[in-house]
Amino acid sequence: MLRYTCKCGLKMAWGSGMDPADCTVCPECGTTLLKTLDGEFVPPGEHDLVTKYDQNTGKPYKLCRKCMKTFKNKGADDGEAVHS
């Protein structure tokens, strides 16, 4: 099993057949969990957001199709992650 970490080690992920998304970025050091073959960190990518609606409340929220993170729907900003 592959272990992925950001530069400072705060963010961590275990590889399970799929690489971490390039939009999964450490809030501390700002790097992704991905490295190129040269050992450099891959530059952070954009979230691929789609609007979803909460099944219970009907409120819209945004979901990233790459990292599967959900965001509160508040304008152009990425917003805060509701959970990860």
Sign of the dihedral through C-alpha 29, 35, 40, 41: negative
Q: What angle (nearest 5°) sits at the alpha carbon of residue 17, between those of residues 30 and 12?
A: 30
Stretch binding Zn ion (CB under 5 A), from 12-20, 34-42, 45-53, 74-82: 45-53
Which residue, 2 or 81, has its beta carbon nearer to Zn ion? 81
Least distance to Zn ion from the beta carbon of 71, Å?
Answer: 9
| Footprint of Zn ion (CB under 5 A) | 6, 8, 10, 23, 26, 28-29, 47, 64, 66-67
